[in-house]
Amino acid sequence: MSGRGERNPIWRRRLIAGSVSLLALGVAVAHLVAPDLTIDNVTVALLVIAIVPWLRDLFTSIELPGGLRVEFRDVEQRVEAAEAMADAALVAGGEGAGQTDDPAALDEVHRLAAEYLSVRDSMRPGSARTQRMNGIFARLVRATQRIADPELDDWLTSSDGGLRLAAYARLYAVPDGATLDILAYAVTEEPLAFGQYWGIRALDKAVDLVGPENVRSSVVRRLEDCRPSGADRAHLLNRLTAKIHGLP
């Protein structure tokens, strides 16, 4: 029995390593066959989100160009690392956001909001469900940017968790200092862990936009009184309040 237990991790590492290599090879072949084929930033972000959570079996950390080192300690932190690496790709589509208004975009937002709730309710908690929801969030980032003037106040105060996630997606990609107060209220009252996570990240961008020194004291107190149960959300919120107070 002990011999089998020792072989299984090796077999798993080889399987994952082979799968990642085949994916990279497939991308290279596609580039050679169709050199004019373009892959948009959201697709890149989804690939990163999909691959990184599985790399723990191969590495304890990843060191990126420029000295950035990503450590993998548990599932939540691996997903956070993937999201952080995909951040630039997710928001790159924000250039020109709000300059045009696509009539079909609002319908897509509602469809994605419903899909998010369906996935959340139908799948067991875990990395597979988180990856699916991250993919929906990435598509919400793009869809919400095709709406010139979304009803963010209505979305943030909605009883529909999918619409609240749509608001977080828009404000994550296109921060708006005018929504800081209502966003803080929505985030601290958010009952869905996934939505609260992205809401905190959107709130962080709003604070950077207005300047930590300009955040109302009532907002600061609300953030300090919030006690998320998840370690990843607690970490992000603590980091945000430290930023507001000017702490390292």
Q: How far apart are CA 2 and CA 88, in angstroms?
A: 45
Distance CA 211, CA 246 (A): 11
pTM of the model as a whole: 0.68
Chain segment 100-123, per-residue pLDDT in tens: 678 899 999 999 999 999 999 999
Which pLDDT does position 66 carry in this prediction? 52
Nearest to 167 by CA among 216, 113, 118: 113
At CA 208, angle to CA 204 and CA 213, rounded to 5?
110
pLDDT higher than 50, residue 3: no
**Can you give the pLDDT at residue 216?**
94
Other residues' Cβ atoms within 10 Å of the Cβ of residue 204 = 18
Helical spans, DSSP H, in 52-147 = 75-91, 103-122, 127-144
Cα separations in angstroms, 143 against 6, 97, 136, 167: 47, 10, 10, 11
- Say which amino acid occupies 5: G
